[in-house]
Amino acid sequence: MADQPTATERFLQGILPENPVYRQLLGLCPTLAVTNGMKPAITMACSVAFVLVCANVVISLLRNLLKPHLRIVIFTLTIATFVTIADRVLAAYLYQMSKTLGPYIPLIIVNCLIICRCEVCASKQGPFVAASDALGQSLGFGLALASIAAVRELLGTGGLFGYQLLPAAWPDWVIMVLPPGAFITLGLLLGLVNWYSARKSGGSI
Amino acid sequence: MNYIIDIFLIALSAAVINNFVLYYFVGICPFIGVSRRVDMAFGMGCAVTFVISIAAFLSWTITTMVLIPGAPLSSFIAGFFVSKEAAATIDLTVLSYIVYIFSISSSVQFVEMYVRKFFPALYKSFGVFLPLITTNCAILFACLTIMSNVAGVENPADAWDLGRSLTLALFGGLGFTIAIVIMSGIREDLDLCDVPEPFKGAAITLVVGGILALAFMGFTGVDSGLRKAITPGGEVAMEISVEQVQTAMIEPNLHQQIRGIND
């Protein structure tokens, strides 16, 4: 496996060069749905990280037993098991948050990000590389979620984590915490990231 | 009469007011990825509507017969192995996610094989989308909404029956088709526009999606207004089911919560 990336490369790639949200456009459903506040966004990022790390390690241990035509089913069943665990834990210790996140925790099962990482990395490389890949990807996912949530919550309510930051005269842009704000914020941030990386690589924009 | 109004309002709510794509953000991947041409978008929409209805039927049946506390099938089986009292309280809802995803992926497989064998023309038109649909959040989301309205209600009489569940699925799929077809129509014109370089592709699609969501927000409150208009004296009795529909929503709760912190 000389041509496969090493653990460190996998970890670093997840953060910006292959950022799941801004570069690969994966897992957009939770990205848009739970980013109207920092708290739900970070809870979601932690749940995704837990599921991704566990699923990647398990798939990586099973990788020699996988049959090509059945692998997607195995992936989804493994992911579903860990999502059930995450969902029960959230319901037990963070009941209010689990009510707020509602159906979006079980929807992690069909999050393309996790299936994609199982397919690209875990079904080809060992558990250590798979774990570091999962950590890098979930860190990148968490950063993306936090950046969107910060913009939306700051403009929408004038604060972060529920603490008022902007002066009281700030008119709350309620639209930012409603569904349209999610689309527009992600669209603009995506354009910003594209512009920045094109400028950095010497593009003529 | 109440039942018909209920069905009508669930249909309206699923199709336009709380549109799957533009309100709940499920099924965003095909919304961004496949919505380049109107005919492809329409094919995708039809395929999703078809699968979502089958999945809704399966998930309603499984939830009512097997998963909820005291479900007939599971307590019948448990009656053989443990005491009758224990069998009556058996609760398998913790297994629901695994069961749903398994039933969705197997039904997609079967639908694909059946369509390929008996409707080759249809298979050619939307067969390519079928495997993708397994990982479409909209299908699982419909199953979860049905589950929260069957297993999550306090009063067993409020639990959704098969008709309500199928209405939600069918019109949710219709709402998905509406959103993705409008989007692909806009994108066909967008190709001719001079979009700034960094915004080409997904970024401008998301911004356009935001404007579409803004337009669909105009439907907010139509359902409760209609309910009051149709049943002048019956608001109090019917209010429960409006809330039922709303428990499945995330946005109002979250919004209230953020507001609550602010106050």
Chain B environment of A110 (Cβ under 8 Å): 101, 134-137, 139-140
Backbone torsions φ then ψ of B221, nearest 5 degrees: 85, -5
Contact A103 B144 (CB under 8 A): yes
Q: Which of residues 194-233 of B touch A (CB under 8 A)?
A: 196-199, 202-214, 217
B2 vs A104, residue with greater confidence: A104
| Res B125: pLDDT | 66
Contact B217 A180 (CB under 8 A): yes
CB-count burial class (<10 Å; 0-12, 13-18, 19+) for B153: middle
The residues that bridge with A160 in the sheet, in sequence order, are: A163
How far is A181 from chain B, CA to nearest CA, in Å? 7
CA distances (Å), origin B152, targets A51, A151, B23, B143: 25, 34, 22, 13
| Res B121: pLDDT | 75
Radius of gyration of chain A (CA): 18
Nearest to B261 among A34, A162, A205 (CB): A162
| Res A53: pLDDT | 92
Q: Is B243 on the interface with A (CB under 8 A)?
A: no
Contact A110 B253 (CB under 8 A): no
Which candidate in B18, B97, B99 is best for mutational testing of the A interface (most A CBs within 10 A)?
A: B97
pTM confidence score: 0.81
Closest CA to A83 of A110, A62, A57, A43: A110
Q: Helices in B128-221 by DSSP H: which ranges?
A: 130-133, 137-150, 162-190, 202-216
CA distance A158 to A151: 10
CA distances (Å), origin B99, targets A55, B144, B147, B159: 18, 11, 12, 20
How far is B194 from chain A, CA to nearest CA, in Å? 15
In the block, tokens 């409603």 appear at A178
Chain A environment of B24 (Cβ under 8 Å): 33, 103
Backbone torsions φ then ψ of B152, nearest 5 degrees: -90, 0
CA distances (Å), origin A51, targets A55, A80, A111, A114, B25: 6, 9, 11, 8, 21
Q: Which of residues 15-74 of A touch B (CB under 8 A)?
A: 25, 28-29, 32-34, 36-37, 40, 72-73
With a cut of 70, which residues of chain B have pLDDT below it?
1, 34-35, 88, 125-132, 134-135, 231-263
Contact A187 B94 (CB under 8 A): no
Q: What is the ipTM of this complex?
A: 0.82
Query: In the structure encoding, which two tokens stand for residue A48, read together?
Result: 């995704």
Is residue A159 within a helix (H) or strand (E), and if so which, with residue range? strand A159-160
CA distance B77 to B132: 36
Query: pLDDT tens, A138-171?
Result: 998 999 899 999 888 888 888 788 777 777 777 8
The pLDDT confidence band at residue A3, using thresholds 50, 70 and 90, is low
Chain A environment of B251 (Cβ under 8 Å): 36, 178-179
The number of beta carbons lying within 10 Å of the beta carbon of residue B220 is 14
| Res A203: pLDDT | 56
Query: In the structure encoding, which two tokens stand for residue A6, read together?
Result: 């090493």
Query: pLDDT tens, A46-97?
Result: 999 999 999 999 988 888 888 777 777 888 889 999 999 999 999 899 888 8
Nearest to B206 among A72, A156, A190 (CB): A190
Radius of gyration of chain B (CA): 21
| CB-based contact B27:B132 (threshold 8 Å) | no
Would you list the domain boundaries of chain A? 7-150
User: What are the DSSP calls for A35-60, one per residue?
Assistant: TTSHHHHHHHHHHHHHHHHHHHHHHH
Nearest to B253 among A76, A100, A182 (CB): A100
Nearest to A77 among B24, B98, B261 (CB): B98
